[in-house]
Amino acid sequence: MKKISFLLIALAISITSCKNDKKETKTVTTEKFVVKPEGTSVKWVAYKTTDRKPVGGEFKILKFENKEGETPQEALNGLNFSIPVSSVFTNDATNTRDAKIITSFFGAMLNTDLIKGTINYTNNAYTASITMNGVTSNLPLNIKITDKRRITLTGTMNLKNWNALDALKSLNKVCFDLHKGADGVSKTWEDIAIEVNTFLRKN
């Protein structure tokens, strides 16, 4: 009887101990990565003259809803954005280049007050589905992640994929002399380098 009593007491202590262990279990909260417009920049480099002289600029306004995810990839995937073309900025000392780009380039396109798009992450690759000039086309993107929070996306936009070569001709017409090189040839290239930088905050 003493052995049975001892076993029953030991079993009761064991059950009580298990219950206490369950009560002490804490839920682990997963930290989220958050993409915000104020931590994001969109820069571009176009080229003029036959020597491909670079002309850099950026868009000062980027619109999208704050998006979060458990990984940087999840935070970026499905991110919808829109960019007012009127926010173009090239830091031109003459204060004329921006107006020419807005009126003679974007103004020669269809429905392009805004450039709209979505960043997608599939099969370990990033693309931006961009709508411009009434055309939606994919822009492949390379990605660099530093410290899990600083993201750089780069790609090359070819304007022919958005039927924008007529708009390019319109821009080259108003910038004809400015886009002449040493050979006297005026040229504006149809490829544009794109760079998106964002800093993912933690939620």
* Domain interval for residue 145: 2-202
Question: What own/partner pairs with CB < 8 Å and gap ≥ 24 does 72-77 have?
Answer: 72/33, 72/145, 72/148, 72/149, 72/151, 72/200, 73/121, 74/33, 75/32, 75/33, 75/34, 75/35, 75/200, 76/35, 76/119, 76/121, 76/126, 76/151, 77/119, 77/120, 77/121
CATH label of the domain that carries residue 171: 2.40.128.110
Task: Give the integer Cα–Cα distance in Å for 197 and 84.
Answer: 18
Place of tokens 């079993």: 11
Q: What is the pLDDT along the chain (203 residues), one digit of tens a residue?
A: 544 555 444 445 455 555 555 555 555 557 789 998 888 999 999 999 999 999 999 999 999 888 899 998 999 999 999 999 999 999 998 889 999 999 999 999 998 899 999 999 988 899 999 999 999 999 999 999 988 789 999 999 999 999 999 999 999 999 999 999 999 999 999 999 999 999 988 77
Phi, psi of 138 (to 5 degrees): -90, 135
Give the per-residue pLDDT at 115: 97
Give the per-residue pLDDT at 7: 47
pTM of the model: 0.82
Domain count, the chain: 1
